[in-house]
Amino acid sequence: MDHLWAPWRKAYVIDGAREPGCVFCTKANEETDADNFILHRGKTCYVIMNIYPYNNGHVMVVPYSHVSEYDELQDEIALEITQLVRHYIRVLKRAMSPQGFNTGMNIGSVAGAGIAAHLHMHIVPRWNGDSNFMPVIGQTKVISEALIQTFEKLMQAEAEISQQAE
């Protein structure tokens, strides 16, 4: 029998562990970006890796404002979300060469939002063949790279893109 190891997921999948309060507000207010897998801080939003990713490189653009409804966003925040999605697609392309992307928001728990109280935009890189029998039959998603390795790749790509822009 083959074994898949993803021990960091146990607290979430099995124990249902969640930090008290809003995790997005908490992480935004801490000063340990690398420990929290925060990749970028903008004026109204930040980019953070999903620590329970659908695929390697799954990131989220999160407004600093604690708002749950898209139509309640200030224009400046909505614009920066769009700009950061575009920018992080470039970063992910450079770092991981995905063949496509899923982007989107789940607004409200009925729509699938795991954290419905704080709006966030997902960016999920996709590759041909990344969907297979494991999630359907085995109820298991295989993530082939440690979060810290992906974080380092994305930070490097971000630095390279920033240098080119100068």
- The residues assigned a catalytic role are 120
**Angle at CA of residue 58, ends 22 and 115, nearest 5°:** 25
Scored b (16 or more CB within 10 A) or e, 103-135 reads eebbbeeeeebebeebbbbbbbbeeeebeeeee
The alpha carbons of the chain give a radius of gyration, in whole angstroms, of 16
3-state secondary structure of 21: coil
**Which two three-digit tokens encode residue 83?**
């700009």
Contact 92, 59 (CB under 8 A): yes
H or E segment to which residue 157 belongs: helix 147-165
